[in-house]
Amino acid sequence: MDSQQDLLPPVVVPHGELSEPLLRSVVEAFVLREGTDYGTREVSLDDKVAHVLEQLRRGRAEIVFDPNLDSVSIVVKRDRPIS
């Protein structure tokens, strides 16, 4: 890509459109890559994955694909102003 004009916008991927195994794989990869700070207590991978899945299901987080980096991330969904 030669300039910022060539950059493609990120794409929100509705978690409900992914199969359960694929969704779990995406969430596991995110948790393992990003790590999460749960303080001084140990939290299992399954518990971390369940927490992220719950955030997705409640609409508090969303899966975003960046076509420029060919990567997927999970981000906190920001409240959008009503226009």
pLDDT at residue 83 tops 70: no
Domains detected in the chain? 8-76 (1.10.10.610)
pLDDT at residue 81 tops 50: no
Give 16-75 pLDDT, tens digit per residue. 999 999 999 999 999 998 765 656 678 888 999 999 999 999 999 999 999 999 999 999
pLDDT at residue 1 tops 80: no
More confident residue, 3 or 67: 67
Q: In whole angstroms, what is the distance from residue 45 CA to residue 42 CA? A: 10
